[in-house]
Every structure is written in C-alpha cells, then in structure tokens.
C-alpha cells in the first residue's frame, strides 16, 4: 500500500477517534464509509480501513449492507476493563518501582505533561493518545511485549464512548492527567507500597 494511502487512513482514524471522544459519533448510530468519506473529503477506501481498525478494537461493529454501528460501553463494561487493566498493570508497575532507580522516571515527565496539556484544553482525542503513550512507556521497561500489547488493547477499548454518558469534560480529564504526575512522584520516591496504592487508584478509581 502506498505511503500516501497510509497517511490518509491514519488521518481518518484520528478524525474518527476525535469524533468519538467529542460525542459527534454516538453509541447506536450507524455510519457508512461513503458517508464519512464525503464528510472528510476523502475516498471511501481509507475510511473503510480506519473503521476496520476500530472494529478490531471493539469500538464499532459491522452492520451488513448498512455500514458500521458505534458500540458504546456500559458502566459494567468499563468497570470490568478497569479491573483487568489493574490486574495486569499494577503488579508490573510495582515490580518496576523495586527494580529501577528513581531517576529513571524523569524521562516520562514530558508524556505526563502532554496529557495535562490536552486535558486542560478539553481535547478528548489528544488526551486519549497521550494517556495511551504514558501507560505504554510506563510498562515498557518490564520487557514484556505481550503485556504492553494486551494492556494497550484494553486501554484503547476503555476509551470507547459510554452509553448514556456525555463525553468527559476538561475537569474530568485533568483530574486523570494529574494522577500521572502523582504516580511518577511516587515512583521517584522509591516506595513500592505507595506506587502500588496509587497505580490501583489511578486505574480503578478506588
């Protein structure tokens, strides 16, 4: 596939994620690739490719002869995803807190700051990407590629719109974003117990 086609697909994927984060595409709605192609002034092919990527993530589902339906999460779905993420991420982060020197975590500050900036602007799509990047790099030193891949998939899945809830505003996003910095402070303190507690609170809200 030509690089230009990849670029258009990635741009459409970013636009789709932004529309989902902003509430422009809502759970239960059905959209066709040609319809969205007209909306963004591109051909239908890259739109289909981008929508198939979202389908692989569980954010949308195919509707025969109609297009794709937006799949919203229920509150139970969200809680279960958070529980799964915590089960995988918290032990890994706690182990890293024991194994790595506090100075290691300084390198993650720019990622935490990027999340805060996106959150303060109320940019849900940019925050989602910054949040993913932070957690990916947080777990990367564990050296387990499958752990990173699985947790990133669960994380991406949890970013789908929630049925019956409006998109998260700047205040909610900022509260989450600031927890990244607090978690880095805990990691820099060299206290695994504190890290475990804060990581669990960040991922589950309790």
146 C-beta neighbours (distance < 10 Å), count: 7
190 and 129 co-located in one domain:
yes
130 and 35 co-located in one domain:
no
Q: What is the pLDDT of residue 177?
A: 97
Token reading at 52:
């198939």
Q: How far apart are CA 196 and CA 112, in angstroms?
A: 18
pLDDT in tens, 61-70: 999 989 999 9
Q: Percentage of the chain with pLDDT > 70? A: 97
116 and 173 co-located in one domain:
yes
Mean pLDDT within 178-186:
96
pTM of the entire predicted model: 0.90
Q: Percentage of the chain with pLDDT > 90? A: 88
Give the domain extent around 50: 3-70
Of 49, 70, 91, which residue constitutes the final position of a domain?
70
CATH classification of the domain holding 149: 1.20.120.530
81 and 39 co-located in one domain:
no
Per-chain mean pLDDT for the chain: 93
107 and 35 co-located in one domain:
no
């Amino acid at each position: 596939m030509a690089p230009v086609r990849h670029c258009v697909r990635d741009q459409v994927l970013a636009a789709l994620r932004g529309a989902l984060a902003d509430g422009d595409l809502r759970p239960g709605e059905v959209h066709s690739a040609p319809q969205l192609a007209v909306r963004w002034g591109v051909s239908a092919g890259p739109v289909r490719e981008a929508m198939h990527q979202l389908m692989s993530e569980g954010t949308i589902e195919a509707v025969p002869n109609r297009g794709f339906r937006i799949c919203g999460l229920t509150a139970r779905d969200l809680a279960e995803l958070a529980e799964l993420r915590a089960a995988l991420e918290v032990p890994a982060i706690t182990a890293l807190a024991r194994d790595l020197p506090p100075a290691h975590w300084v390198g993650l500050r720019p990622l935490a700051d990027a999340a805060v900036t996106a959150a303060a602007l109320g940019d849900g799509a940019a925050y989602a990407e910054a949040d993913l990047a932070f957690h990916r790099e947080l777990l990367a030193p564990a050296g387990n590629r499958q752990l990173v891949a699985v947790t990133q998939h669960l994380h991406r899945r949890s970013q789908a719109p929630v049925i019956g809830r409006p998109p998260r505003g700047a205040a909610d996003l900022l509260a989450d974003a600031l927890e990244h910095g607090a978690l880095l402070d805990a990691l820099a303190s060299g206290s695994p117990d504190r890290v475990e507690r804060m990581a669990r609170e960040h991922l589950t809200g309790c």
